């Protein structure tokens, strides 16, 4: 499920805050290694997950397990799709 999340930020060129849309994607942790892994997005794509991509810190990465539901911001790198700002969905 793609979810629009609106964030306020201060634009340097203006005195009033503006808004930007950031898309988040839901997925499941597919594979985990020592400090990296893969998330299968709901769009069927595999996204690379690095321990520093977690929304909090690398300790949150160690709490992940294969099969956990997550939300993340999809980004494209020269090496392929990557998950950023990853958050585990607590049920």
Among 61, 69, 67, 66, smallest CA distance to 91 is for: 69
Question: Mean pLDDT across the stretch 9-16?
Answer: 38
Is the model more confident about 10 or about 57?
Answer: 57
Strands (E), 1-91: 2-9, 18-32, 36-41, 46-50, 69-77, 80-88
pLDDT in tens, 34-82: 889 999 999 999 999 998 888 876 578 888 999 999 999 999 999 999 9
pTM for the whole structure: 0.72
Position 17 pLDDT exceeds 50: no
């Amino acid at each position: 499920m793609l979810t629009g999340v609106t964030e306020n930020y201060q634009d340097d060129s203006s005195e009033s805050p503006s808004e930007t849309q950031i898309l988040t994607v839901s997925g499941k942790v597919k594979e985990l290694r020592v400090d990296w892994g893969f998330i299968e997005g709901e769009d069927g794509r595999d996204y690379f997950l690095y321990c520093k991509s977690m929304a909090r810190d690398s300790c949150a990465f160690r709490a992940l397990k294969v099969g956990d539901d997550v939300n993340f911001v999809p980004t494209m790198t020269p090496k392929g799709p990557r998950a950023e700002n990853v958050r585990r969905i607590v049920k």
